[in-house]
């Protein structure tokens, strides 16, 4: 609640609609915001709880007289919790939609008032600074009698803002009768002082337009200026028409395939459309089972041929989408055509070619946020070199302290684990946890769990002066077994925050967003990392950190470079970071030609029906591959494959993504060499990945290897596919199997079913076993086909049935 009070140097008196401030000691008052038009000085500051509600108020001495009264704003503490732009909202009409904007223009005309719009952004420091001054005007009856005060959040209405040609912030604009644009003037902290005078000038004659002189004073436009403006507007209209015609021509060119796509040979049997016409009975059964889930309404075979087929032979099968999605021919063609259609300059200049690039980049940022249903007023899209760079940026700038905690799911990618070095550098502690731990921590009764680290259960920051900032990181989908983790954790992490301890969520969505929808309005993660080549293959070397706007201020940026500062000096240690959050976090020139190409990748995803359709397509293939692999048997009845992940979960589509990660087993039950399989698969035309897949947490957990055992390999292992493929470790084993080596299959079964009979002396013995340090990962994506999956199953059966490792 906001109320008006009058203040003298010793007495606080309420004047209207105010809670009782009686009895407030002077020392309890605290400066909230300075009433800029007053020349007063703050004389005391503080916060005080009164009987009914906590109240904070500002008190100042005005003018020269110590006891002269001033009107200031007092705000309850609940109000303080709301962001600055939501305060004193009863004074303003907030523009809610584009239509609403035009309605306001009309309303002002009807009421014969001047419509004054304050254009602001939530992240704009200057907008925040001048807001109390603007509020003072918006409550002045002398002005409100003739002016309708409205404000518009620019990030919510980017199209409108673009249409209106807005180029700076903060700015106010005046519209007169029939929506006639009368003036625009800067509302910067320096120039806002002239606003009252300017408004009086305009109110004296609302029939003409005004321009702002260099001193910030509005001057009536001359006849010559008006004629020039009309000419410029006509020219702009003509250019817009030409641009639209050019865009249409380019669209036609692109949809004709533009050369390379048309030269692709057609497949003999385009059979995904109609199961009954399919020759292969296995495919017929598959299509009957998965129906509309597979193939984008029967389009997949044609699509594959047009977009990918020309680059792979008929016997080649790309199954490494988690490493990189396959790029589509039409995306490359469309991106190149766009680059050929105009000159795109460095966005940091002000030349026409630079403005063109900048406009494009801003539109693409918006498109990305829209794709993830992130409100542009709440989120920022910061371009980075990839998911790893996004994670590094968070690690580097997160406000760690020696009380902070970095808690992360064990199954995170190496690039998340690397964040802990920054936490440690600031004296923070870290903890790797598993899924059950997180569920209990966030949603369970902590006191019942022995696993919960006490200091985490009771926030470490209680009682501290400054809040303690802690981070919880998890992957949307892990890149090892493709398990998807609950996005509900994001809400749980938010709820963990107290006044003294703030918890933030870091969602590593790099492996998730290719085939899963991500809705940041439903799951408002604090930080999200992505790489675009994992979404649609091209461009590479470009990713994004999607960050909640309110968090940008918290980040402690050390390095700054070209593009991220608005002001700097050479000899003194002086610099001012840019106000716009994305710009202050992007050092140097962003990869602007690649960013332009992104639009075409997103167009392709939308053409397929968006992430939900891709998810259904990929899930049908992952299900089928899992079923086929787990049903393969050697002649002696032993299984040929052991698959990791949650494919057999009753709600598997919620918890399992498009990765099928497995070990192949010999007929003797031993795990076969993944290095041998990688080589043989490559020769047979399969593009797959083997090893630990940059995810030691998940890999070693599934294989039952302890961290200390891995640490013994320091200095001997160089990479995922080097010759150090197995680790010989001691494990418990059934008494019955003593005398033989315990098989890897037994170990895998034991891990899966936790049936190793620990603690049964006499029945348990320690055995030396060879455990692999990696596995085989098949990852499916938007252009995967039934033929890819079936070919792999057939090849595995043909090559490895009834074989043991001795055969290779």
Closest approach of ligand PLP to the CB of residue 321, in Å: 10
CA pair distance 681, 675, nearest whole angstrom: 10
What do you get for the CA distance between the two ends of the chain, in Å?
Answer: 77
Asked if 677 contacts 503 with a C-beta cutoff of 8 angstroms, the reply is no
Closest to 655 measured CA to CA, from 478, 456, 405, 805: 478
The nearer residue to ligand PLP, 307 or 478, going by C-beta atoms, is 478
User: Pairing state of beta strands 70-76 and 2-7?
Assistant: antiparallel
The nearer residue to ligand PLP, 459 or 543, going by C-beta atoms, is 543
Closest approach of ligand PLP to the CB of residue 241, in Å: 41
Three-point CA angle 245, 249, 250, nearest 5° = 115
The nearer residue to ligand PLP, 293 or 508, going by C-beta atoms, is 508
Asked if 568 contacts 574 with a C-beta cutoff of 8 angstroms, the reply is yes
The nearer residue to ligand PLP, 312 or 694, going by C-beta atoms, is 694
Phi-psi region of 571 (alpha: psi -120 to 50; beta: other; left: phi over 0): alpha
CA pair distance 531, 649, nearest whole angstrom: 29
Structure tokens, 31: 């400066």
Beta carbons within 10 angstroms of residue 73's beta carbon: 20
Identify the H or E element spanning 662: strand 659-664
Distance of CA 247 to the CA centre of its chain: 30
The nearer residue to ligand PLP, 440 or 656, going by C-beta atoms, is 656
Identify the H or E element spanning 728: strand 726-734
The nearer residue to ligand PLP, 508 or 788, going by C-beta atoms, is 508
For residue 435, give Cα distances in angstroms to 95, 416, 503, 509, 654. 44, 16, 18, 17, 15
Beta carbons within 10 angstroms of residue 314's beta carbon: 11
Closest approach of ligand PLP to the CB of residue 143, in Å: 53
Closest approach of ligand PLP to the CB of residue 546, in Å: 14
Closest approach of ligand PLP to the CB of residue 370, in Å: 22
The nearer residue to ligand PLP, 389 or 681, going by C-beta atoms, is 389
Closest to 127 measured CA to CA, from 81, 168, 187, 190: 187
Annotation says 694 is catalytic: yes
Closest approach of ligand PLP to the CB of residue 152, in Å: 37
Asked if 646 contacts 309 with a C-beta cutoff of 8 angstroms, the reply is no
Asked if 7 contacts 41 with a C-beta cutoff of 8 angstroms, the reply is no
Closest approach of ligand PLP to the CB of residue 776, in Å: 16
Let me know how long the chain is.
Answer: 808
* Binding-site ranges for ligand PLP (CB under 6 A): 322, 386-388, 413, 415, 475, 479, 508, 510-511, 531, 694
Q: Which of 50, 381, 694, 699 is catalytic?
A: 694
Q: Which residues are known catalytic residues?
A: 694
């Amino acid at each position: 609640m906001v109320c008006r009070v009058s203040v003298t140097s010793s007495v606080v008196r309420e004047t209207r609609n105010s809670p009782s401030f009686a009895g407030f000691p002077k020392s309890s008052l605290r400066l909230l915001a300075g009433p800029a038009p007053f020349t007063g000085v703050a004389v005391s500051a503080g916060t005080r709880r009164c009987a009914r509600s906590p109240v904070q108020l500002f008190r100042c001495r005005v003018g020269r007289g110590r006891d002269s009264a001033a009107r200031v704003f007092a705000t309850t503490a609940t109000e303080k919790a709301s962001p600055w732009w939501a305060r004193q909202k009863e004074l303003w009409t907030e523009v809610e939609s584009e239509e609403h904007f035009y309605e306001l223009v009309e309303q002002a005309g009807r009421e014969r008032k001047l419509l004054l719009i304050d254009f602001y952004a939530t992240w704009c420091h200057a907008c925040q600074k001048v807001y109390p001054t603007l509020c003072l005007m918006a409550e002045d009856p002398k002005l409100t009698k003739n002016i309708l005060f409205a404000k518009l959040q620019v990030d919510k209405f980017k199209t409108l803002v673009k249409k209106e040609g807005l180029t700076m912030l903060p700015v106010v604009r005046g519209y007169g009768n029939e929506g006639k644009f009368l003036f625009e003037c800067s509302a910067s902290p320096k120039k806002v002082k002239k606003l009252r005078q300017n408004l009086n000038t305009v109110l004296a004659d609302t029939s003409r337009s005004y321009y702002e002189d260099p001193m910030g004073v509005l001057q009536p436009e001359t006849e010559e200026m008006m004629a020039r403006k009309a000419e410029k507007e006509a020219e702009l209209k003509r250019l817009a028409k030409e641009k639209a015609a050019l865009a249409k021509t380019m669209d036609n060119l692109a949809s004709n395939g533009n050369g390379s796509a048309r030269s692709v040979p057609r497949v003999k049997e385009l059979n995904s459309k109609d199961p009954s016409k399919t020759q292969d009975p296995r495919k017929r059964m598959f299509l009957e089972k998965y129906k509309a889930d597979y193939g984008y309404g029967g389009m997949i075979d044609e699509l594959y041929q047009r977009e990918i087929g020309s680059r792979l032979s008929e016997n080649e099968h790309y199954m490494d989408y988690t490493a990189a999605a396959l790029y589509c021919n039409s995306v490359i063609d469309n991106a190149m055509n766009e680059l050929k259609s105009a000159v795109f300059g460095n966005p940091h200049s002000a030349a026409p070619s630079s403005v063109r690039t900048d406009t494009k980049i801003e539109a693409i940022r918006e498109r990305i946020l829209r794709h993830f249903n992130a409100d542009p007023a709440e989120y920022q899209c910061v371009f980075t070199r990839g998911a790893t760079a996004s994670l590094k940026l968070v690690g580097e700038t997160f406000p760690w302290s020696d009380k902070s905690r970095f808690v992360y799911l064990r199954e995170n990618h190496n690039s998340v684990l690397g964040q802990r070095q920054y936490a440690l550098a600031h004296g923070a502690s870290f903890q790797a946890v598993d899924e059950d731990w997180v569920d209990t921590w966030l949603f369970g009764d902590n006191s019942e769990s022995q696993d919960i680290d006490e200091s985490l259960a009771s926030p470490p920051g209680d009682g501290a002066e400054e809040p303690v900032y802690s981070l919880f990181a998890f992957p949307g989908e892990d890149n090892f077994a493709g398990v998807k983790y609950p996005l509900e954790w994001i809400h749980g992490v938010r709820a963990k925050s107290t006044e003294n301890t703030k918890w933030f969520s870091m969602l590593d969505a790099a492996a998730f967003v290719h085939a899963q929808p991500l809705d940041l309005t439903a799951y408002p993660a604090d930080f999200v990392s992505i790489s675009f080549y994992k979404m649609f293959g091209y461009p590479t070397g470009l990713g994004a950190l999607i960050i909640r706007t309110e968090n940008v201020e918290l980040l402690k940026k050390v390095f700054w470079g070209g593009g991220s500062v608005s002001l700097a000096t050479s000899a003194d240690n002086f610099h001012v970071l840019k106000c716009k959050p994305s710009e202050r976090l992007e050092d140097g020139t962003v990869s602007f030609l690649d960013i332009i190409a992104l639009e075409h990748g997103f167009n392709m995803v939308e053409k397929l029906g968006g992430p939900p359709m891709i998810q259904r397509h990929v899930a049908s293939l992952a299900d089928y591959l899992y079923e086929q692999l787990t049903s393969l048997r050697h002649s002696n009845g032993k299984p040929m494959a052991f698959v990791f992940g949650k494919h057999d979960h009753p709600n598997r589509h919620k918890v399992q993504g498009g990765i099928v990660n497995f070990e192949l087993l010999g007929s003797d039950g031993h795990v076969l060499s993944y290095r041998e399989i990688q080589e043989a698969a490559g020769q047979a035309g399969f593009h797959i990945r083997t090893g630990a897949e940059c995810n030691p947490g998940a890999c070693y957990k599934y294989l039952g290897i302890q961290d200390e055992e891995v640490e013994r390999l320091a200095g001997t292992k160089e990479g995922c596919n080097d010759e150090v493929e197995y680790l010989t470790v001691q494990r418990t084993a059934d008494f019955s199997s003593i005398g033989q080596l315990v098989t890897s299959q037994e170990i895998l079964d034991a891990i899966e079913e936790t049936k190793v009979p620990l603690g049964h002396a006499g029945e348990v013995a320690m055995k030396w076993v060879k455990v692999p340090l990696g596995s085989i990962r098949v990852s499916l994506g938007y252009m995967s086909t039934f033929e890819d999956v079936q070919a792999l199953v057939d090849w595995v059966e043909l090559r490895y049935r009834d074989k043991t490792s001795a055969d290779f």
